[in-house]
Amino acid sequence: MDIEEEIRSLQLDSAEDSNGVVNPEDEKPDVDNFDKMDEDPKQEVQAQAVEAEPKEKDTAVQDEVEPEITKRHLNVVFIGHVDAGKSTTGGQILFLSGQVDDRTIQKYEKEAKDKSRESWYMAYIMDTNEEERVKGKTVEVGRAHFETETTRFTILDAPGHKSYVPNMISGASQADIGVLVISARKGEFETGYERGGQTREHVQLAKTLGVAKLLVVVNKMDDPTVNWSKERYDEIESKMIPFLKQSGYNVKKDVLFLPISGLMGSNLKTRMDKSICSWWDGPCLFEALDGIEVPLRDPKSPFRMPLIDKFKDMGTVVMGKVESGTIREGDTLFVMPNKDQVKVVAIYIDENRVKRAGPGENLRVRLSGIEEEDILSGFVLSSVENPIPAVTEFVAQLAILELMDNAIFTAGYKAVLHIHSVVEECEIVELLQQIDPKTRKPMKKKVLFVKNGANVICRVQVNNTICIEKFSDFPQLGRFTLRTEGKTVAVGKVNAL
C-alpha cells in the first residue's frame, strides 16, 4: 500500500476536488462523518490583523476610530532537506532587505573562510551559534524579520537534518506559509526526494501542522551541474507535483514553484536577470511572498496562544503565536491546563510594545499572577470565558506512515505526541475502527492491529494533562504527529475530546 496514497485518503484537510485535494479552508462539511473536516466557520471570517503598524515604541496602538495603516503579518517557515540552502536563502533575504549591513557580511565571509566553509557566509546570518557554523547545519529554528511592500514576515529557518525534525515541527507549527527549498544540484534533489529524505518528511509534516501554502523554490540553479537548466527545473517540478498532491496540497491553488539562487541572490528581491536565466518569466520570491493569500483568522474567537518559551524579565514573560482571538493589555486570562489566572501586563511584537494583538502574531507577553516555574512549553494562554479543554485522553484519526521495523500498530503502542507546542509521551489505549482505504468509511469489524499505511481511529492517552482542541473546531490545535526513535510514524487529527 502506498503510504502517500494513504495520507491522502486520511484527508487530514480535504475532500477531493478536480485536483484530488483541496485547501482545508475551502472545504465544506461532508456527510461522511470520518473524512469530513468540518471547517471551523470562525476560520473563514475574513479579518485583518488587528494590531497597528508601530510608529514608535510604546505607541503602536490601533486607534479604533481612525485606524492607522496596517500591514499584515505572516510567519513563513523555511523547510527542506539538509543543505538545500534554507539558511543561505534566508540570510540573503535579510541582506537584500537591508537587515544586515556589508560590514557584517564581510565579517561572516572571513569567519566562514577561516572555517574552510567559504560559501557558507550567507547562512551565518541565520545560523548564529558556533555549533551550527562549525558543522554547517542549522540546529535551532532561526528567527528573523523582514518586510515587503504589503507584509511583515517572520522567517523561521528550520533545520533540515533528520536528527532535528522535532525542532522543524516546532517551527512549522508556528507558520502560516512555507518556503520549501529544494537543491537542484546533481544528486542533491534526488537524496532529498528519496524515501527517508527530508523533502518528503517536511512536506508531509508541514501539511499536517497547518502550513496552508507552499512556495517551492528550486535553489542552487547557479550550480555548475545545473547552470540554470530549464530541463532540470522542469524535471524537479514534475516529480514534486504528484508528491505534493498526495501530501494534501492543492497544487494549483496553494503551491507556486520558482527557480532561485539563494547564494547569488538571483530571483529573490528583483525579477530574474535575463542574462542569467532567459526562460523564467514568473515572479521573484519577494513578489510571490507578497502575493500570497492566506485565510485570515477571526480576531473575535476565543483567545488561544500555545506557549513555546518563558523567561523572567521584570515578571514572567511568555512567548508564542496567537492561534485565535485577540489579546489586550490588562486582559485577565488563564494559563491552561492549570487554570492559573493571570493579568496581561505588556505585549510585544518584536521590539515594539503594543496594546493589543490578533491571530497569527508571534508575541512576548509579560504576565502577572504566575511564576515562571509554573509554566511549561505546551501550556496555553487562554480566554477565561471559554478556556481550552485540558485532557489526558482523546479520540483521534491516524494515518500510519512508517512503523519502525514494520512493527504492528496495536493497543499499547507508545510514541511521542507533537501537537502545537506540546511534546508528550503517549500511548494508544484502544483501536476503535479502521478506515476502509477504498470507501474511506469506518469498517464494521473489530480491529486489533493495523500495519503501515493504515488509517485508524483510536483512543490516545497521555500521562500529563495537555490542552488541545478538536480538529473541526481549531485545526491548528487539533492536528498532530506521532514520532518514535527520531522518525515520524503517524500523522493525525483530534476527533473527540
Residues that bind ligand GTP (CB under 6 A): 80, 82-88, 119-120, 123, 136-138, 159-161, 181, 219-220, 222-223, 261-263
Strands 304-312 and 316-321: antiparallel
Cβ closer to Mg ion: 87 or 383? 87
142 binds, among Mg ion, ligand GTP, none (CB under 5 to 8 A by kind): none
State in angstroms the smallest separation of the CB of 77 from ligand GTP. 12
Residue 287's SS3 state is helix
Out of Mg ion, ligand GTP, none, what residue 387 binds, judged by CB under 5 to 8 A for its kind, is none
Per-residue DSSP letter, 442:
B
Q: What share of the chain is helix, strand, coil (3-state, %, to 5)?
A: 25, 30, 45
The type of residue at 42 is K
The CA distances from residue 151 to 87, 100, 110, 154, 212, in Å, are 21, 19, 33, 10, 17
Number of residues that bind Mg ion (CB under 5 A): 3
Nearer to Mg ion, 156 or 256 (CB): 156
**Cis omega (within 30 of 0) on the bond before 337?**
yes
Residue 126, all three cell numbers: 541565520
CB of 127 to ligand GTP, least distance (A): 7
Count of CB atoms situated within 10 Å of the CB of 148: 19
CA distance 425 to 428: 10
Cβ proximity to Mg ion: between 59 and 119 the closer is: 119
Partner from ligand GTP, Mg ion, none binding residue 399, C-beta < 5-8 Å depending on class = none
Q: Residue 220's binding partner, choosing from ligand GTP, Mg ion, none, with beta-carbon cut-off 5 to 8 A by kind?
A: ligand GTP
Collapsed DSSP state (helix, strand, coil) of residue 304: strand
At closest approach, how far in Å is the CB of 236 from ligand GTP? 14
Position 87 contacts Mg ion (CB under 5 A)? yes
CB of 268 to ligand GTP, least distance (A): 10
Min separation Cβ 89 and ligand GTP, Å: 6
Query: Which three three-digit cell numbers place residue 482?
Result: 506521532
Binding partner of residue 15 among Mg ion, ligand GTP, none, CB under 5 to 8 Å per kind? none
d(CA 497, CA 495): 7
Binding residues among 307-346 for Mg ion as defined by CB under 5 A = none
Own/partner contacts of 63-71, CB < 8 Å, gap of 24 or more, are 71/147, 71/150, 71/151, 71/152
Choice between 143 and 252, CB closer to Mg ion: 143
Which among Mg ion, ligand GTP, none contacts residue 262 (Cβ within 5 to 8 A by kind)? ligand GTP
Least Å from the CB of residue 84 to ligand GTP? 4
Identify which of residues 122 and 216 has a Cβ nearer to Mg ion in the complex: 122
Which grid coordinates are listed for 94? 535579510
Q: Report the Cα 260 to chain-centroid distance in Å.
A: 22
Strand pairing of 72-79 and 177-183?
A: parallel
| Least Cβ distance, residue 132 to Mg ion (angstroms) | 7
Name which of 362, 123, 154 is nearest 220 in CA terms: 123
* Cα–Cα distance for residue pair 316/373, rounded to 1 Å: 9
> 220 vs 297, which CB is nearer to ligand GTP?
220
- Residues 6 or more apart whose Cβ sits within 8 Å of residue 289: 74, 76, 148, 151, 153, 177, 215
Binding to Mg ion in span 126-185, by CB under 5 A = 138
Q: Rounded to the nearest whole angstrom, what is the least distance from the CB of residue 129 to ligand GTP in the complex?
A: 12
Q: Choose the binding region for Mg ion from 61-69, 84-92, 226-234, 405-413 (rule: CB under 5 A).
A: 84-92
CA angle (307 as vertex; 305, 310 as ends), nearest 5: 135
| Residue 213 binding target from ligand GTP, Mg ion, none, CB below 5 to 8 Å by type | none
> Pick from ligand GTP, Mg ion, none: which does 247 bind, CB < 5 to 8 A by kind?
none
Least separation in angstroms between CB 264 and ligand GTP:
6
Interface pattern 44-83 for Mg ion (x via CB under 5 A): ----------------------------------------
Distances (CA, A) of 381 to 92, 249, 366, 428: 35, 31, 12, 28
120 DSSP assignment: G
Q: How open is the CA angle 383-386-389, to the nearest 5 degrees?
A: 100
| Partner whose binding site includes residue 82, from ligand GTP, Mg ion, none (CB under 5 to 8 Å by kind) | ligand GTP
Return the number of the residue (75 or 301) whose C-beta is nearest ligand GTP: 75
Sign of CA dihedral 155, 161, 164, 170: positive
Q: Contact with Mg ion (CB under 5 A): which of 8, 86, 304, 321?
A: 86
Nearer to ligand GTP, 165 or 450 (CB): 165
Residue 79 CB, nearest distance to ligand GTP (Å)? Answer: 9
Measured from each CB, the residue nearest to ligand GTP is 160
For the record, the C-alpha cell of 356 comes out as: 493589543
Minimum distance from CB of 118 to ligand GTP (Å)? 8
Beta-bridge mates of residue 200:
none
Q: Footprint of Mg ion on this chain (CB under 5 A)?
A: 86-87, 138
